[in-house]
Structure formats: structure tokens, C-alpha cells
């Protein structure tokens, strides 16, 4: 074999190896991105479920649940009251109107059956609802309090992922971690919306 032929074979093998390593590195990054997207989708679904439970807890108790145990007990044993509101408008003299509002309690339904039924969440498991998906068993951080706004106390809550899987969400002391609610405002929206 001539020297040029040997060098051609060596360069071909080197080019193939380099191409494989380049492909592998790009593929690894893409697989990691897919894993992050899938995990964050599962986290968002759980945060939406926890938000629904917190809103129902507020409607029943006047405050948000400050920890998982209180919220779990409410989901398992609590009831959502079905209330019908009717308004009657009566026309008075000189075009004024008088509105009377009546409330009638129609009954109640179990929280777990109403919010987390089989049709909406077929794989619902209350025992791991507070566990962050893909975290190895870490729990969501719960916060509930009241803040003062215009001489009134308003209940607030926040539930957040304590250790985001996405490196972009870990920046600046994890300020962009997936969360629902707010510690300072009366908000029930999530930061992914």
C-alpha cells in the first residue's frame, strides 16, 4: 500500500469517528431537551391540580392551605357546596332599579369526585400529588399567608418547584422555577402561562 492510500483510510476513519461524535453530542442535547419538556409538562399538570385544590380550599375555608397535609385532608374529606344565585330586578320610580340577590344551597359534592374524577385525571394518585415529577422524591414548597391591600387582608398562596430540572430556571436563585400563585399578590396563575 502506498502512503497516500494509508493516509486516505486514516482520514476516512477519522472523519467518520468525528462525524459520529458530532452527531452523538447533538443527539444527547436534543434528548435532554425532550426530557426537560416532558418533565416540566408533568410538573405543570400537578401544579394545575394543586391550584384547583387551593381555590376550592379557599372557597370552603376562607384561607389557603399552608401545607400539604391540610390540603390532602381537604381533598379526601372536603365537600364543595353547590349554590344557586338568582337576581331579581324591580323597576322603581324615575327609572331606578332595585336588585335583590338570593342564594340557595342545592347540595354538595365530594372534592375528590368533583376536581379529580376519573374522566379528567385517569391516573390520579393523591399519595404522590405533592411530589415533584423527576426530582427523586422532593416535595413542592407550599406557602400561604395574608397580605394587606387597601386596608383589607387578602389571602395569598404559592406552590413552587424547589429544584428545577431546567438549567435556565435555576438562574438567579431559582427565581424562574415553575410555580403557581404569588407571595405578594392575589393571583392563582402559573408562571408558565
φ/ψ of 16, rounded to 5, equals -65, -45
C-alpha span between 135 and 169 (Å, rounded)? 14
Alpha helices in 84-134 (DSSP H): 111-115
pLDDT at 119 over 80: yes
Q: Where in the chain are the domains?
A: 39-76+113-181
86-108 per-position pLDDT tens digit: 999 988 887 788 889 999 888 88
Give bridge partners of residue 98 from the DSSP assignment.
Answer: 90
The residues, ordered by sequence, that sit 6+ positions from 103 with a Cβ below 8 Å of its Cβ are 83, 84, 85
Give the global pTM. Answer: 0.78
Query: How many beta carbons lie within 10 A of that of residue 176, not counting itself?
Result: 15
6-57 per-position pLDDT tens digit: 888 999 999 999 999 999 888 888 998 898 899 989 999 999 999 999 999 9
Amino acid at each position: 500500500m502506498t502512503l497516500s492510500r494509508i493516509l486516505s483510510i486514516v482520514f476516512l476513519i477519522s472523519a467518520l469517528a468525528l462525524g459520529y461524535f458530532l452527531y452523538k453530542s447533538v443527539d444527547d442535547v436534543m434528548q435532554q431537551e425532550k426530557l426537560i419538556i416532558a418533565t416540566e409538562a408533568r410538573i405543570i399538570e400537578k401544579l394545575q391540580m394543586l391550584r384547583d385544590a387551593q381555590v376550592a380550599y379557599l372557597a370552603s375555608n376562607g384561607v389557603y392551605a399552608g401545607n400539604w397535609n391540610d390540603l390532602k385532608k381537604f381533598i379526601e374529606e372536603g365537600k364543595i357546596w353547590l349554590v344557586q344565585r338568582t337576581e331579581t330586578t324591580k323597576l322603581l320610580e324615575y327609572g331606578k332599579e332595585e336588585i335583590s340577590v338570593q342564594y340557595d344551597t342545592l347540595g354538595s359534592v365530594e372534592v375528590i369526585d368533583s376536581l379529580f374524577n376519573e374522566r379528567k385525571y385517569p391516573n390520579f394518585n393523591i399519595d404522590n400529588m405533592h411530589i415533584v415529577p423527576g426530582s427523586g422524591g422532593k416535595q413542592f414548597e407550599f406557602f400561604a399567608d395574608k397580605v394587606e391591600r387597601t386596608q383589607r387582608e387578602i389571602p395569598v398562596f404559592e406552590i413552587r418547584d424547589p429544584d428545577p430540572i431546567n438549567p435556565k430556571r435555576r438562574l438567579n436563585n431559582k427565581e424562574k422555577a415553575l410555580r403557581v400563585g404569588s407571595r405578594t399578590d392575589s393571583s392563582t396563575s402559573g408562571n408558565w402561562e
